[in-house]
Structure 1
Amino acid sequence: MQTLPTTLDGWLSRLESHHPITIDMGLDRVAAVAARMGIHFDCPVIIVGGTNGKGSTCAMLEAILLQAGYRVGLSTSPHLIRFNERARIDGESASDDALIAQFARVEAARGEISLSYFEFTTLAILQLFIDANLDAVILEVGLGGRLDAMNIIDADVAIVTSVDIDHTEYLGSTREAIGFEKAGIFRAGKAAICSDPMPPQSLLDHAAAIGADLWLLGRDFNYMGDKLQWNYGGRVQRRNSLGYPSLRGANQLLNASAALAALEVLRTRLPVGAQEVRTGLVLVDLPGRFQVLPGRPTVILDVAHNPHAAATLSQNFGNMGFHPYTYAVFGAMHDKDIDGVIAQLKGHIDHWCLTDLPLPRGATAAQIEEKLLAAGIVPGNDPGAECTIQTFSSPADAFANATNRAGENDRIAVFGSFLTVAGVMAYRAAHNH
């Protein structure tokens, strides 16, 4: 009889080593274990997928429902600093002990069935939420939708925020192929909300084929705004004189509108008042999504890791006012469209601090440097050069270099991967920033 780990770190390292395929598509195994565990929700469940905007939409839903006094579970991935961030109950990360107890239950239930890290931890988090007797559950899809472990749950409302090119090796290389994967979270007869202004035909076709109740931006719900406030309009519900979400960035009204459409669908089961919506949007907080830190030089943390997110980042740069120089702390996975990210940010960055990432999937700083040079970014060698490129072995080293060189009116943008942002957050925490 093998002994089970007694710490959260012990469990996580065991899970990382036990199932070598990190992304193992297919729901048969995880659904079989879920059936053994009797995983089922009686409260409303909202599932959120999409290429970009998932995390923001989930955070807004959580903030509004908490303001309305509901007990809310929120599962997101990946985490930035601690695994516990992936399971939040009433706005607080789950404790190590609570997670360890659920890991033991999944281990006991799985028997001979092999589960990936994500499948195993997903089952543990779902069981944790069931035991917590919640009023509402919000689930963020990890990857794609159709074959994501979260999709074993039949949600009451499904949201697809945006469809763009990412994870091509698993989801396909066109918006049509990816749209079909994202639409896999839709259910017959249940609300299927899409806040992408130009949804792929494959998503529309799949919703029609299964008989989902499709809500489209511009047809079933919409938003309008001026500089001071904005309004939401749905099929039957209007929300007027709303303050802008505290999350910064160009797409946040799309995400907020999708969240309000989901709450409109659930208005009889989870009634939410106007003031609770307003307060929730103002208080919502999401680390690492165009997060502008206090102090000088200005530091921006953004987990942007595909061209669509990079385009939003460059747009947000333009809305920030003047900074003499912009430093980039940039590290990325080699399977991402790094060239596409560079193309969106070229011309917005003066000094590139490139970093290796501590994973086999990480591109090396030297590989990213080659791509910058191929994109026509020409560095100068002298200290006063308009453009420089330097390589580092860790996000912390790259950030320390940028901090040492940047003037107090400059800005430092940290982006390219969750790992890049997490490395800088850990460095700042250790240095009491």
Structure 2
Amino acid sequence: MQNLPTTLADWLSTLETMHPKAIDMGLDRVRQVKDRLDIHFDCPVITVGGTNGKGSTCAMLESILMQAGYRVGLYTSPHLIDFNERARVNGEIASDEALMAQFAAVEAARGDISLTYFEFTTLAILRLFAQSPLDAVILEVGLGGRLDAVNVIDPDVAIVTSVDIDHTEYLGDTREQIGFEKAGIFRPGKAAICGDPVPPKSLVDHAAAIGADLWLFGRDYNYSGDKQQWNFGGRSQRRNSLGYPSLRGANQLLNASAALAALEALRNRLPVGAQEVRNGLVMVELPGRFQVLPGRPSVILDVAHNPHAAATLAQNLDNMGFHRYTYAVFGAMHDKDIDGVIEQLKDRVDHWYVTDLPLPRAATAEQLRQRLLGAGVVPSTASGAEKTIETFSSPAAAFASARSRAGENDRIAVFGSFLTVAGVMEFRRSEGQSGKA
């Protein structure tokens, strides 16, 4: 690159076209550039992988550790609105200037090594963290685990939150194949925490083969509770009378328990008190994960984009109490299991507002409409229609129409892709948080 870009937007636009493949699994190229940049960490590193629940688990770890007074670096992906969301240093989103300085360093170090957008930006954020005075680093895996760019860093604790079917073209089409890929973040002699209540045999076998210290939910740690509070039990540590995490949803205690197991494994290096755990769980925030916005009609933002996540969303919707009608703003990538997502939610939705998304990978609104028809969602044109399907060119247009139709006792669920949720979030932001939703 002869003339370096001068804005973050220009950098990101350049990186999108720099490598012939958007996703190019393998660590050799990334590891070479990492070594040239001398990226290493003297503080504990927690790597978090899994099909669903990664973001929630990372957010809880960050919140608890920061309540305990630790300086924390958190890397997550993808972002919802601004790229900078991917890198947080002590709770603050990284500035354009900080990121561009690291992009320039990666560009200078890579020489003739070609990197994907994800690989390049991952290295830049890792270097940002390595140069920051941090007490802990939390890294969310992008895709899979074994061959993900994040896996060039050796974690002190690795968490696999859940194993389900997703990204089959890269990871395989069975839980056993996918479990092996996700177990690739485990390390010999280090704590390897599995939050999936039914772990694939391949994950358990891989942990044993490499000599990882495997913590299984239900064997090495668990939780119990009632409607008011819950308790965590680990190998040698109990945490009682905990408040429920501020993140809503059916699986959040599984995610919280995995986070607390990781902190137990690191208790000698990162001790955390009981009140700091309580405060961290109560104060944690994560946009787009069963996020219920204030006001009426109820608006739910959820990045659910595979059947496992859609089943959790369906359960969470069921637990919300009565709503007269449910409107769905739904957009999805065509390589996802769209039929599986629809199957989980078709009985909970009355009016489908399906939308195009601004990516070639996306299914069109018309394709989604056809999938709904194929799944037995039959629109009724009778007065007081119970089922309708409408197509829109953008999530913003779909949401605006749904909001204009929905009554105050109805709800609007926005799901199917990060881009679907981001489109609605940007629309609401452009309105200046005017209180219309």
With normalisation by structure 2, the TM-score equals 0.98
2:223 alignment counterpart: 223
Amino acid in the other structure paired with 1:214: L
Find the counterpart in structure 1 of residue 121 from structure 2. Answer: 121
Give 1:224 shift. Answer: 0.3
2:239, 2:160 → 1: CA distance?
A: 21
Q: Deviation of residue 381 (structure 1)?
A: 2.6
> Within 1, Cα distance between the matches of 2:93 and 2:367?
36
Give the match for residue 286 of structure 2.
286
Superposed displacement of residue 383, structure 1: 6.0
The alpha-carbon deviation at position 17 of structure 1 amounts to 1.2
CA distance in 1, matches of 2:347, 2:132: 49
Within 5 A, what are the aligned runs for 1:44-63?
A: 44-63=44-63
Query: What are the Cα deviations for residues 394-420 of structure 1, in whole angstroms up to 9, with x where unaligned?
Result: 000000110000001100000000000
Amino acid at match of 1:423: G
Partner SS, residue 17 of structure 2 = helix
Amino acid at match of 2:393: S
Structure 1 Cα separation of the partners of residues 96 and 405 of structure 2: 39
1:93, 1:20 → 2: CA distance?
30
Equivalent position of 1:203 in the other structure: 203
Specify the SS of the correspondent of 1:223.
strand
CA distance in 2, matches of 1:367, 1:190: 46
Deviation at 1:384, TM superposition (A): 2.5
Distance 1:383 1:405, change over 3 A: farther
Counterpart residue number, 2:411? 411
Output the CA distance in 1 between the equivalents of 2:382 and 2:125. 53
1: CA distance, partners of 2:329 / 2:155: 38
Q: Which runs of 4+ in 1 moved over 6 A?
A: none
1-structure distance, mates of 2:330, 2:413 = 8
Question: Within the alignment, does 1:369 sit opposite 2:396 as a pair?
Answer: no
The 5-angstrom pairing of residues 264-303 of structure 1 reads: 264-303=264-303
Paired amino acid for 2:71:
R
1:426 is matched with 426
Task: Tell whether 2:265 aligns with 1:259.
Answer: no
1:321-343 CA distance string (max 9 Å, x none): 00000000000000000000000
Partners of 1:69 and 1:148 lie apart in 2 by 30
Aligned to 1:66: 66
TM-score, length of structure 1 as denominator length = 0.99
For residues 302-381 of structure 1, the aligned pairs below 5 Å read 302-381=302-381
Q: Which amino acid aligns with 1:394?
A: S
CA distance in 1, matches of 2:379, 2:134: 55
Q: Secondary structure at the match of 2:218?
A: coil
The secondary structure found in structure 2 opposite 1:115 is: coil
Aligned position for 1:159: 159
The alpha-carbon deviation at position 177 of structure 1 amounts to: 0.4
Structure 2 segments unaligned to the other structure (5+ residues): none
SS in structure 2 of the partner of residue 128 of structure 1? helix
Question: What is the Cα deviation at residue 294 of structure 1?
Answer: 0.2
Letter in 2 for 1:155: P
CA RMSD of aligned residues (A): 0.7
Inter-partner Cα distance in structure 2 for 1:403 and 1:323: 14
Between the aligned partners of 1:53 and 1:340, the Cα distance in structure 2 is 19
Secondary structure of 2:88's counterpart equals: strand
Cα deviation, residue 432, structure 1: 2.3
1:14 aligns with 2:10: no
Cα distance, 1:195 vs structure 2: 0.6
Deviation at 1:20, TM superposition (A): 2.9
> SS in structure 1 opposite 2:303?
coil
- Is the deviation greater in 160-169 or in 11-20? 11-20
Cα distance change of structure 1 residues 224 and 150 upon mapping to structure 2, 3 Å threshold: same
1:211-238 deviation line (CA, Å, top 9, x unaligned): 0000000100010011100000101110
- For the residue of structure 1 that corresponds to 2:158, the secondary structure is strand
Q: Aligned-pair distance for 1:431?
A: 1.1
C-alpha separation in 1, matches of 2:355 and 2:19 = 28
Whole-angstrom CA distance in 2 between matches of 1:75 and 1:125: 7
Corresponding position of 2:186: 186
Which residue identity does 1:345 align to in structure 2? L
Q: How does 1:71-86 map to 2 (within 5 A)?
A: 71-86=71-86
- Separation (CA, whole Å) in 2 of partners of 1:262 and 1:102: 29
- Alpha-carbon separation, structure 1, partners of 2:352 and 2:335: 20
Aligned to 1:391: 391
Amino acid in structure 2 at the alignment position of 1:328: A
| CA deviations over 1:277-328 (Å, ceiling 9, x no partner) | 0000000000000000000100000000000000000000111000000000
Percent identity over paired residues: 79
Aligned to 2:92: 92
Q: Secondary structure at the match of 1:164?
A: coil
